[in-house]
Amino acid sequence: MSVSILGSTGSIGRQTLEVCRDLNITVDAISANKNIDLAERQARLFNVKLVGIYDSICAQKLRERLSDTDIEVIEGEKGNIEVARFAASDTVITAMSGMIGLLPTVAAIEAGKRIGLANKETLVCAGHIIMPLAKRYGAQIIPVDSEHSAIFQCLNGADGNKIRKILLTASGGPFYGMTAEKLKTVTKSDALRHPNWSMGAKITVDSATLMNKGLEVIEAKWLFGVETEDIEVLIHRESIVHSAVEFEDNSVIAQLGVPRMYLPIKYALTYPVRVHSGGHELSLFGKKLTFEKPDRKTFRCLDLAIASSEAGGLCPAVMNAANECAVSLFLQDRIGFADIADIVENTLNAVSASGDGLDAVIAADAAARDYVNKNAKE
């Protein structure tokens, strides 16, 4: 087995490499944006054959640094695409965050790779293209996101039995229980302090707004072929039940484990085999499992995301782009936390996009980004 990792220097990418090291899995190709110090260490440690670096200046620097090796460095989007379809790799982990994951994921599918899907924006924006494409090329998609991995695991052995409902759990993030008034005063460092999961900055902010759960509802809809109304979001503060499936006979099958991404990443790499994992045992003694309805009025991003999916077409692509831009503005201290939902809502109202195919998705994404950036205060 050989793996390509898109986004190897991010949180999921680093943990994927940890799993590959522990299980002696070959890594042939990796890609990153700008972090060439880490990319160089990873490239040498795993003796990869190809590194994609998005930023062209950084790519040139890394090429010089690796001139004592046979490792090839390719810059820009082409780098990501070549990593995605690298001939020797049979599995591609899409660990980069954001819409930038779309075209490399398409390339991996067209090359017939098994996809370990960690980039949720791909399905959010283009699920209507990606799922039929994967079917056509016989590319298997194994979810890496902990909730979707849980649902995937709950469906093992279900033999096509109809899903009545997906119970999608959410930790509630760092601002659980806060009022809308209080949310206006929270800071970037508050938002980046997640109670249970250690993740990248973008997804951690999405987790605080509950947008992450909205994106996951859309992702689940595409992955498991259900309607958004059949997906129930439950706040589960303990992050032990990673999600569950309710069947026609009222049976609910859940997957439980400690909240470590290492575990769903490993499952995606070794599926259908389960491999020993020392140090990640779950002990249920003394634990309480609680479930509550989310506060949809205060955390508006959840329903904004779901509404965009129900509106259909390119609305989710517009919604996702508005959110990516708003989160980026928030991380630059240019807007407040509570502005994120307003920006997403205003963009959905202002930007209309239509058309078929990947080009239309990319155009909708660009139009929404344009709208947000033009309206952003300097």
Name the site residues for Mg ion (rule: CB under 5 A).
145-147
What is d(CA 16, CA 199) in angstroms, rounded to the nearest whole number?
13
Residue 145 or 295: which CB sits closer to Mg ion?
145
Which whole-number Å values give the CA distances from 253 to 123, 153, 317, in the listed order? 25, 9, 32
Residues 6+ apart with CB under 8 A from 126: 102, 317, 358, 361
Residue number, 97 or 146, with CB nearest to Mg ion: 146
- Contact at 8 Å (CB) between 30 and 39? yes
> Residue 36 has which token pair?
């060439």
Q: Give one DSSP letter per residue of 154-208, joined into a string.
A: HTTT-TTPPEEEEEEEE---TTTT--HHHHTT--HHHHT--SS----HHHHHHHH
Tokens matching residue 48:
């990869």
User: Smallest distance from the beta carbon of 146 to Mg ion, in angstroms?
Assistant: 5
Q: How far is the CB of 242 from Mg ion (least distance, A)?
A: 8
| Residue 259 CB, nearest approach to Mg ion (Å) | 10
Helix, strand, coil share of the chain (percent; to 5): 50, 15, 35
- Tokens describing residue 253: 């099958």
Minimum Å gap between C-beta 243 and Mg ion is: 9
Which residue is closest to Mg ion by CB? Answer: 145
Q: How far is the CB of 359 from Mg ion (least distance, A)?
A: 29
| Cβ nearer to Mg ion, comparing 43 with 231 | 231
Distance CA 127, CA 223 (A): 8
Q: Smallest gap, in angstroms, from Cβ of residue 345 to Mg ion? A: 23
Q: Which of 10, 11, 15 is nearest to 35 (CA)?
A: 10
Task: Please say which residue, 242 or 369, places its beta carbon nearer to Mg ion.
Answer: 242
- Comparing CB distances to Mg ion, the nearer of 40 and 147 is 147
Taking the least distance from each CB to Mg ion, the nearer of 82 and 147 is 147
Least distance in Å: CB of 343 to Mg ion? 22
Quote the least distance from Cβ 216 to Mg ion, whole Å. 6
Contact 49, 86 (CB under 8 A): yes
Nearer to Mg ion, 146 or 347 (CB): 146
Instruction: Return the structure tokens found at 241.
Output: 């039940």
CA distance 47 to 329: 37
Residue number with CB closer to Mg ion (194 or 369): 194
